[in-house]
Structure 1
Amino acid sequence: MKKLSWFNRVVLWINIVLTVLTVISYILPFMAPKVFPILSVFTLVMPLMLVFNAIFFVYWLLQFKRQMLLSGLVLLLGITFVSKLYRFSSKDREPVSGDFTLMSYNVRLFNLYNWLPDTDIAKKIPAFVKEQNPDVLCLQEYNKVGNNSFSQYKHSFIYTPDKQSGQAIYSRFPIIGTGDIQFPGSANNVVYADIKKGKDTIRVYSMHLQSIKISPDIHENIDEQKSKVIFYRISEAFKRQQLQAEIVQQHKNECHHPMIICGDLNNSAFSYVYRSVKGNMNDAFEEAGGGFGRSYNYKYYPARIDYIFTDENIEVKKYETFSKFINSDHFPIMTRLGFTKEED
């Protein structure tokens, strides 16, 4: 410490504070948000913490200072979190007979309230889906505007409890069972369909968990009072999400079919909610994705809040985020899957 310049001493103290906050954020996914609701907000900024730790590591490394060990050890301890943030290469295995594709997309009511100036979005989304041609399609924030737009699918389950917003599952394969999961005190929900593919029956869950109600332009005109409101709103949403995630966890524990869970969790991959819903399933992005996997159209932050989780005996062969298709506040995500073994 004595050999450091005054500037490097300041940098070191900032580095130490960041290290402590990062270690705390590593623990938060294992702690229920209702215990420390305000602290749970830190999981949203963990990607920035990891980036800043990497910057500090390089800063000290270039000076050959042993202080590089501080952020270096933190990054090493959080290596599993780094893989959730960024994948350096994607996987794309050759398709084989028996593979199938699934797309998940929050369509934001097909722009019903003209959030975007384009008036043709209700036509562009079905056209895009037809072009990508997924075998199974899961749509969140679905509206009856889309009822006659996906005629290429013979089987569907459409659920719109408030006649305005709901969810839909479309499938090329027969749907032999359907259902929904209602959350107390919330308009959000989960729908599921048991899909028959050859000899296999797959349960596909499509979910839309509690929104934190933060718009993409949150960074504009922010002040102290607004910051307090935002923190409170996020912490309250996280508490609701915890209850919803635990309901989903209990429901899927009673399912005896291979499962795929997809949809909009409205939370990061570093959260208790993500960990609770995912359980021991595979994250398709981690298995075959590349880059940040950004699924929410926030200008300055690579937010990944939409997911596809797969059963352990379902292999993820390809994963793609369509981040250039801007017709909602979310981007479509799609994966190609195959069974590693036949269902008994």
Structure 2
Amino acid sequence: MKNLSWFNKIIYVFNVILAVCTLIGYVLPFLAPKLFPFFAVLTLVLPSLLILNIFFLVYWLFQFKRQMWLSSVIFLLGITFFTKFFKFSEQTLAKEEEDFTVLSYNVRLFNLFDWIPNENIPENIKRFVEQQNPDIICFQEYSKSANFEFDDYKFRHIVMHGKKIKSGQAIFSKFRMINEGEITLPNSDNNVVYADVIKGSDTIRVYSIHLQSINISPDINEKIDESKSKLIFKRISSAFKEQQVQSELIQSHMNDFKGSKIICGDMNNSAFSYVYNNIKGDMQDAFVRAGKGFGKTYNYKYYPARIDYILVDEIFEVKEFETFDNFKNSDHFPILARLKITKDEP
């Protein structure tokens, strides 16, 4: 510090504060939001903290200052977190007859209330599904308002709730279903559905999940004053607490099933959260295995939010993963994974 100019001393103070916040962010995925609701909010901005650490690293590096080691250590400690945020290269392995594909998509009621000024949304989604032709589909915020059927899918599990407006989740499968059910989430309109499908000689339990929303508008141009900030913080803290309970119910249900599992859906939380960490456990994140870029699944302006996931057990080889972030027919984007069952871990 003695050899730094007054300007660089100020910069370094901010660097230290950032480093402390980033370290806290590294620990938060392992701490229940109910215990630290204030700090849990940091998980939403952890990617930004990682990027800022890179900026500080470059800033000191060009000046040949030893202060660069602070950001270097912080970044190296969190390199696994960075791969959950951005992937430089994708994995695309050769197609084989045993491969099968899984699509997950929050369709937002097929645009029932005209959130998007396009009357062709249902037809667009139907055409997209037909083009991708996945073997298993998990829809969140599903509605029968769209006047069509997915005829190629003989097996289906649809759970709808509501009085005037019925919505819910649906699992469509080309593979035979032998069991199906629902996990009711307390004090929530959200839910989890599951179905056991037969692929060859294997039974796979497929979960479609939709966790508590944080109820924040994606329009960042909206004016945010002090009262608005407090409301946003309160909503996020409340949602994170609800998501913790929901994730623990899902985890308990998963532990009771000893077969292979695939989890699809909308967690309404980042890959740096306790909720994600709790549900994922030892499973593979298909995006981390084979995706590319930011993997943006929610249409926040200017921020690549990834809150939709396909998680698979180690028995599955993730051969390809794609995020269709140019397909803007919902507030979410569809994601697709190509998988293969291996008898040994890949």
TM-score class, shorter: over 0.9
Q: Is the 8 A contact 1:155 1:174 kept in 2?
A: yes
**Whole-angstrom CA distance in 1 between matches of 2:242 and 2:226:** 25
Whichever residue aligns with residue 31 of structure 2, its letter is M
- Summarize the alignment of residues 204-219 of structure 1 with structure 2, pairs less than 5 Å apart: 204-219=206-221
SS across alignment from 1:139: strand
Q: Confirm whether residue 179 of structure 1 aligns to residue 181 of structure 2.
A: yes
**Whole-angstrom CA distance in 1 between matches of 2:190 and 2:220:** 22
After superposition, the C-alpha distances for 1:285-318 in whole angstroms (9 at most, x for unaligned) are 0110011111001111110000000011111000
Q: What is aligned with 2:67? A: 67
**Whole-angstrom CA distance in 1 between matches of 2:261 and 2:33:** 26
Whichever residue aligns with residue 321 of structure 1, its letter is T
Give the deviation of 1:145 after TM superposition.
Answer: 2.0
Any runs of at least 4 consecutive aligned residues in structure 1 with deviations exceeding 4 A, and if so which? none
- Summarize the alignment of residues 15-30 of structure 1 with structure 2, pairs less than 5 Å apart: 15-30=15-30
**Whole-angstrom CA distance in 1 between matches of 2:344 and 2:40:** 40
**Whole-angstrom CA distance in 1 between matches of 2:147 and 2:36:** 42
**Whole-angstrom CA distance in 2 between matches of 1:324 and 1:103:** 16
Give the deviation of 1:232 after TM superposition.
Answer: 0.6
Q: What is aligned with 1:170? A: 172
Q: Confirm whether residue 327 of structure 1 aligns to residue 319 of structure 2.
A: no
Give the deviation of 1:5 after TM superposition.
Answer: 1.2
SS across alignment from 2:244: helix
After superposition, the C-alpha distances for 1:170-218 in whole angstroms (9 at most, x for unaligned) are 0111111100000110011000010011111110000000000112104
Sort the Cα spacing of 1:219 and 1:234 in 2 relative to 1 into closer, same or farther, 3 A.
Answer: farther
**Whole-angstrom CA distance in 2 between matches of 1:2 and 1:113:** 62
Q: What is aligned with 1:256? A: 258
**Whole-angstrom CA distance in 2 between matches of 1:282 and 1:218:** 32
**Whole-angstrom CA distance in 2 between matches of 1:76 and 1:110:** 43
Give the deviation of 1:219 after TM superposition.
Answer: 4.2
Q: Is the 8 A contact 1:38 1:232 kept in 2?
A: no
After superposition, the C-alpha distances for 1:125-159 in whole angstroms (9 at most, x for unaligned) are 11101011111000000001247331121111111
| TM-score (structure 1 length as normaliser) | 0.98
Q: What is aligned with 2:300? A: 298
SS across alignment from 1:160: strand
Q: Confirm whether residue 191 of structure 1 aligns to residue 202 of structure 2.
A: no
- Summarize the alignment of residues 152-171 of structure 1 with structure 2, pairs less than 5 Å apart: 152-162=152-162, 164-171=166-173
Q: Is the 8 A contact 1:211 1:266 kept in 2?
A: yes
**Whole-angstrom CA distance in 1 between matches of 2:342 and 2:73:** 37
Whichever residue aligns with residue 71 of structure 1, its letter is S
Give the deviation of 1:61 after TM superposition.
Answer: 0.5
Corresponding pairs, count: 343
Give the deviation of 1:37 after TM superposition.
Answer: 0.8
Q: What is aligned with 1:45? A: 45
Give the deviation of 1:327 after TM superposition.
Answer: 0.4
Q: Is the 8 A contact 2:220 2:301 kept in 1?
A: no
Q: What is aligned with 1:33? A: 33
Q: What is aligned with 1:246? A: 248
Q: What is aligned with 1:314? A: 316
Sort the Cα spacing of 1:319 and 1:175 in 2 relative to 1 into closer, same or farther, 3 A.
Answer: same
State the identity as a percent. 59
Q: What is aligned with 2:277? A: 275
The gaps in structure 1 that reach 5 residues or longer are none
Give the deviation of 1:342 after TM superposition.
Answer: 7.9
Whichever residue aligns with residue 280 of structure 1, its letter is D
- Summarize the alignment of residues 123-162 of structure 1 with structure 2, pairs less than 5 Å apart: 123-146=123-146, 148-162=148-162
One of 231, 234, 237 as aligned partner of 1:235: 237
After superposition, the C-alpha distances for 1:206-242 in whole angstroms (9 at most, x for unaligned) are 0000000112104421111101100010000000000
